[in-house]
Structure 1
Amino acid sequence: MADLFAPAVPTAPTENDSRPLADRLRPRALDDVVGQEHLTGRDGALTRMIAAGSLGNIIFWGPPGTGKTTIARLLAGSTGLHFEQISAIFSGVPDLKKVFEAARLRLGNGVRTLLFVDEIHRFNRAQQDSFLPVVEDGTIILVGATTENPSFELNAALLSRARVLTLRRLEADDLALLLGRAETMMGRALPITADARSLLIMMADGDGRAVLTLAEEVFRAAKTGETLDEEGLRAILQRRAPIYDKSQDGHFNLISALHKSVRGSDPDAALYYLCRMFDAGEDPLYIGRRLVRMASEEIGIADPQALTIALAAKDAYDYLGSPEGELALAQACLYLATAPKSNAAYTAFKAAMRSAKENGSLLPPKHILNAPTKLMSAEGYGSGYRYDHDQPDAFSGQDYFPEELGRQTYYEPVERGFERDIRRRLEYWSALRQERQKSPG
């Protein structure tokens, strides 16, 4: 990936300088890097490492365009290390062996190597393991970059030998600063209105490289004397796709945010994340399935209609398709977010499942078993069973758990929604059960 950001005092372009603007605006010192002050500022983690003269193995984790490659280059320059860069997308074991051997030769001549591995999460487990010997014996200082959660994508052994440093998505002010640096280098202001400038920053979606690339397109496409408004900017720039990979972190982050917003009874936040997923191209039927799951897990019997509405919304989308069907999913999302919450059914299910697995094949009490044969009748099957509809209040109070297990309580209704009524009902039956078990019949 190309580096990004600008030096504190950018140099003027030359006629023969055909490099992309983002490359020409590469910083010359850590202080010039934008948006990562928690790492590069006076008290930042990287600043302290350099001051101590001890640079360890590092994994940079952050979204695209936040400066991972740039910072790795600057670290090598600040510590006198030879900088070597490979990409996990284009490299295999033979390439790694060549890099490691060259690093060993350099080390023999008194020069250590900082090996920057872009997209390190793309290496498989065996390839990641190949780094362990050269990291442990100091042949290389490893600096890896990943857009994915290292906890899931990197070997535990490799992670234990490196420090994970998180790079943050650039804020609007950071992107505005980069645009100012671009204008200084180009010697002229971007030919866009203030509103169009805000739109351009929004299009960059927190990516420093993207904002400079978009700015370069504007410089290149705008006519002499023209000032582009928002509509004109959209005509020149195709809207940048949201940072969202349906098999990776962006996908899971948004569905997690949607689920927790519903659980937290915040309909506005839930609707926002729902629309974020629609905008990113998520399969609406996947969202519908997740809403059905939320209805059972987060609401349950506190509002028995929640599951019905979630299923109806999924079916409505299936029937209407896009874009009409999205409204049904939005309606269900709002209903779930505003419904009374209870995870009592979810918790009861997990507890009962755990009990079923732990206690083996216990025989139910014989009085609730059918006796279709004389032998089974002789064995006591069905003996003593009391038909509930023939009992006062249609409740016999008999025990239905296996004798070896004893009576268990899994379901604890909450004092919210419809479950409040169920709780009163269960308390009433519990009192009746205790009374009738003392005097059966």
Structure 2
Amino acid sequence: MFDALSDKLQATLSDVRARGTLTEDDINKAMREIRLALLEADVNFKVVKSFTANVKERALGADVLGQLNPGQQVVKIVSDELTSLMGGAAAGVSFSPRPPTVILMAGLQGSGKTTATAKLARHLREQNGSSVAVAACDVYRPAAVDQLVKVGAQAGATVYEQGTDRDPVDIAGWALDRAKQEGKDVLIVDTSGRLHVDERLMDELVRIRKVVRPHTILLVVDAMTGQDAVNVAEQFAQAVQFDGVVMTKLDGDARGGAALSVKAVTGKPILFASTGEKLDQFERFHPDRMAQRILGMGDVMSLIEKAESQFDEDQAKDLEKRLRKGEFTLEDFLSQLRMMRKMGPLQSLLGMIPGFAGNQLKNMKVDERELDRVQAIILSMTVEERRRPELINGSRRLRIAKGSGTSVQQVNGLVKQFGQMRKVMQQLGKGKMPDMAALMRQGGMR
């Protein structure tokens, strides 16, 4: 996400940082480059004008020109202003003291509203421990109800549906009654969309709102549509007062103009972002973390949160005990690999590490299929072979290669790399710092 914008901003700010001193002309040149980068990223023109004016005013007004490290000061100002532009502090759904909390989902057809409804249901169930129900009120789009039944079940939510023959307003009211009777914590109402904003769409939303009296109205917009998404959000804001935005397909938008413009144009923050097709690729939107990602500063907090969500304390304690005894097996390695993969695509995880961003990250060409091959090789081993890789002789390697659909060379490579890794883990378990240079020489690496 934001690839093109991120590359250009990082290049501009890298040039600023490299200068020992800065003049007003240097600041003006940097602002021109930033302005151009934002416009090319499809950021609203008025937003760009205001943003660059604020950065320039702060850069000149804070005596940055005379600072010991002026470039770093400018980077911080740009980061702060990007954070402010996207809403400042992260916001979330407000829960009612008297359940169920009702969340109304609105948006146009094709914005990903039904999938976002299921993703939000899963998120609230996983992160808040909420019992969630979803109401299927999109009765006009073919197969919309069937889709919600399917993805809602995958999300662990109860789906309330009455087919497509009833008035969606009646379905919404009936679903609310059921949610109360069944003691649900949250009811998410998936409404109908249209190809464009029209009177019929808004009238239906208003009628549903009167019946269910939602605590939060979320507008789902497609980041891939750029400024069209912002225009849609502005029209909805005028007709139906929504509380926040769910930005879908953010992973596929290399420009990012919608995410950077919507708060400034509508006054409503982005609350959630959909970052992939899978139900778990959905997260709260943190403006400060997104600003850091755009500027190549990583996103350590999100990385930690992803790791903690997959962390098994008992397994970690058991592994620690065995490491202290010098034990580390291919089963342990497979377990860690699976945990890491649950955190999301490796390319995305690397993008959260400071320094792994922009062209450097793209040039690494992370191949997720290689992880599949590693997993297949380990699973083709016997339990004893995983625990004692030294048993794997020539005939065993041939059998493992055939069983995993790989080559003997690939099996050899994994066994060799694991041997190096085990030495590192054993030395760490004994409280020693491993000699990485020696290990790399042994592994034939230069």
TM-score, reference length from structure 1:
0.26
Q: Which has the higher contact order (CA 8 A, sep 6+)?
A: 2
Larger fraction in helix? 2
Based on CA coordinates, which of the two structures has the bigger radius of gyration?
1
